[in-house]
Amino acid sequence: MNTALRNTLILVALAFVAGMIFWQSKQPGTEPASTETASNGSTASSTPPKAVVDAVIEKSGDIGVCDAKSAWFPHSQTQRTDDSAFPNSSNCDFHQWAWQNFLWLTQDVDGQPRFLSFATPESLLGNERTGMLPRMAKSDATESLDEYLQAGTDGIFVAHNGRSVYYSQYLDSTFVNFVQSNNLTDPSALQALIAADPATNFPIEGTAGAMELKVSWLVVTDGFDASDMFTMQTEIAKLVNRDGQIVIDTTQTEEVTVALVGFHIAGIVKGHPEMIWATFEHQRNAPNVPVTDPPLTLDQPVSDQDYTFYTAGTTLADCNVNNASDGQLKLDQQTQTLSPITQACRQYQFGNAAGVNTINDKNIQTLNASVASMFDPDDVWKNYAEVGAVWFKGTDTLQPGLSIATDELLAGSLSLSNATIETFTQVASTENNCFRCHNTMQQFPPQVDLQPLPASNLNISHALQNIYFWSQEDAQ
């Protein structure tokens, strides 16, 4: 939709709201808007009812059309968002924030995407990286890149070539500076900061809010066409069978080519210390479970097309099965392949069930299309799209001790999952979006001889939680 047409719609919507207010004021039993005398003797209308304010916001920005900004392109010139001036005026603002940052983070800087130059949680503790590690049962050692206490089933996501999908985490300079300036790699320093003010939030430095990322990677093997994906060479730790379990052996590594398949962005903006949580995927990762009436049954196929992580004709019952949980997963150490493979389906295309937050889903759909139309045809990042984003309804409402176990506080994509990062938790009501696990409750340690992390706003970040527990382990 062009700007002129959108502005016309906004004016019509505002006129409609104004007309409704006028009509309501003429109804019997309806009091006219009151006035207040200001300190300078002038009069001003009192604050309109919240319903009226919400209606204006909805009509001016939440009309199901959300366009990319021409200033984002070309991709080589995308600027980072100004998080200190986040508009917070419509649903579209949050998705535009997500896309602009995805473009900025994937921008080529000295021959590699910008995000690869960011620090990792381990690096803040001075630990040498030993290669990406697969999502699997949590380790008590600092080399585990899977998040402590994250939602999920500790499953291993197995690609169709039998290789585990691998994960990496990154922190921007605002996050790093906050940790280092407050000496938060020292557990006692973090405990003291929380004791002094458990409502301390991650900061915005200048225009840049603290940001953390999680990225999923497919090991590319012979016969797989990764020409439409971002790929790179990297070192990964090998898997071994030990004491009846599949575990990581960081003393054994291999050089491989990996392709980026999933991308989480979580970042602080003005009014949202809980972070905006957004996720992107490669467009041929997995099919969406179709919305049908009656709903698709478990014995029906999800799609008749092949995807990177889905075989055509696979039924809904065979999608997103965690084979590690029932002991069915087997590892061939020699080939580093696992069986059976995972068949992945995306339960909700844009993170909402049918009929829930439809404006949110339309905004994502139109924004994805708008961005795609502006990409250079040769830019590999045009093959990725936003799945969704989730945040708090109100502004500055984060507080210590929130479990966020329901959707009462949330807006956006309420059942948000990345098919390559939250594969096994998409339909579990206690684990079906980022905030189910990223909360501000007290966090208990992965082993009994460590100190728990008291409830605080900072607990929203699992990266900081990892640093807190890892640093205690290093001291032992």
Could you tell me which of 85, 98, 91 has the C-alpha nearest to residue 66? 91
**Whole-number mean pLDDT of the chain?**
84
Q: What is the pLDDT of residues 60-97, one digit of tens each?
A: 346 778 999 999 999 999 999 999 999 999 999 999 99
The predicted structure's pLDDT at residue 424: 84
User: Among 194-198, 244-248, 400-404, where is mean pLDDT lowest?
Assistant: 244-248
The pTM score is 0.84
Q: What is the pLDDT of residues 125-169, one digit of tens each?
A: 887 655 566 654 333 343 443 432 223 456 788 999 999 998 888
pLDDT band at 252 (very low <50, low <70, confident <90, very high): confident
Per cent of the chain over pLDDT 70 is: 81
- For the chain, the straight-line distance linking the first and the last C-alpha, in angstroms and rounded, comes to 60
Mean pLDDT (whole number) for 95-118: 97
The predicted structure's pLDDT at residue 404: 94
DSSP state of 154: -
Asked if the model's pLDDT at residue 444 lies above 80, the reply is: yes
pLDDT band at 251 (very low <50, low <70, confident <90, very high): confident
Mean pLDDT (whole number) for 441-469: 93
Residues 460 and 476: their CA atoms lie apart, in Å, by: 26
Mean pLDDT (whole number) for 429-450: 85
Asked if the model's pLDDT at residue 102 lies above 50, the reply is: yes
Asked if the model's pLDDT at residue 106 lies above 80, the reply is: yes
pLDDT band at 448 (very low <50, low <70, confident <90, very high): confident
Asked if the model's pLDDT at residue 3 lies above 60, the reply is: no
The predicted structure's pLDDT at residue 446: 79
The predicted structure's pLDDT at residue 67: 96
The predicted structure's pLDDT at residue 65: 84
Asked if the model's pLDDT at residue 15 lies above 70, the reply is: no
Rounded to 5 degrees, φ, ψ at 465 are -60, -45
Rounded to 5 degrees, φ, ψ at 179 are -65, -45
Do 75 and 42 contact (CB within 8 A), yes or no?
Answer: no
Mean pLDDT (whole number) for 319-337: 89
The H-or-E segment that residue 122 falls in is none
The token pair at 121 is: 């949680």
Where is pLDDT greater, at 7 or 101?
Answer: 101
Asked if the model's pLDDT at residue 14 lies above 80, the reply is: no
The predicted structure's pLDDT at residue 476: 80
**How many residues are given for the chain?**
476
